[in-house]
């Protein structure tokens, strides 16, 4: 079992550590270009100032982040609200094939919807088969050109059910974290 929840600002170091553990090919797929350790650290620091939410999947034994999804809200100069958001997804190689990317993506859709985002975007390289498959499975329209793809989906307005779904997911994550802490401390 892996806990999935939103990160707090105090946990950005764990997010940075996750991105630093990605191998060079995974970094290329996640960011669309070669990226160094210093660039990752600057990315995470800059993200702490941006309007964004990071969803993360934790290994319940080590409490390390093993997968993450950034939801970055794009706020236009003439509005206080973000009508568009972009997502970026990463899953460490050893933890692929467990549905973590799909679950993080589903949660990102809910988070964006509940913040009144109308259009959710994802940019990725065409060879990023994992992201392409997840985007297609969730009804995103994909436009491919020159080796890169832009996927988009129009989101409905928030509803009582979508708000409850987000709240329930976070509540369950708190309970899962608590149980994992108990298992890893007192029960050993």
pLDDT grade for 186, boundaries at 50, 70 and 90: low
User: Domain residues for 158?
Assistant: 2-185
Cα gap 112→99, rounded to integer Å: 20
Domain CATH for 141:
3.40.630.30
pLDDT at residue 45, as a whole number: 82
- What separation in angstroms does the CA of 28 have from each of 48, 101, 126, 183, 186? 22, 17, 12, 36, 41
Helix intervals (H) in 32-86 = 37-47
- Count of domains observed in the chain: 1
What's this model's pTM, rounded to 2 decimal places? Answer: 0.86
pLDDT in tens, 97-153: 899 999 999 999 999 999 999 999 999 888 888 888 999 999 999 998 888 899 999
């Amino acid at each position: 079992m892996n806990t999935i929840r939103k990160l707090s600002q105090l946990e950005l170091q764990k997010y940075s550590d996750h991105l630093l553990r990605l191998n060079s090919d995974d970094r290329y797929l996640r960011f669309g270009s070669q990226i160094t350790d210093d660039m990752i650290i600057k990315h995470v620091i800059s993200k702490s100032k941006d309007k964004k939410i990071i969803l993360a999947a934790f290994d319940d034994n080590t409490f390390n982040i093993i997968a993450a999804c950034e939801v970055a809200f794009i706020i236009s100069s003439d509005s206080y609200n973000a009508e568009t958001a972009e997502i970026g997804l990463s899953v460490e190689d050893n933890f692929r094939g467990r549905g973590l990317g799909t679950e993080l993506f589903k949660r990102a859709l809910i988070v964006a919807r509940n913040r009144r985002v109308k259009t959710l975007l994802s940019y990725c390289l065409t060879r990023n088969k994992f992201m392409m498959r997840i985007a297609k499975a969730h009804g995103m329209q994909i436009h491919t050109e020159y080796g890169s793809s832009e996927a988009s989906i129009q989101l409905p307005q928030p509803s009582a059910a979508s708000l409850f779904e987000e709240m329930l997911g976070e509540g369950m994550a708190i309970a899962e974290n608590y149980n994992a802490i108990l298992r890893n401390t007192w029960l050993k």
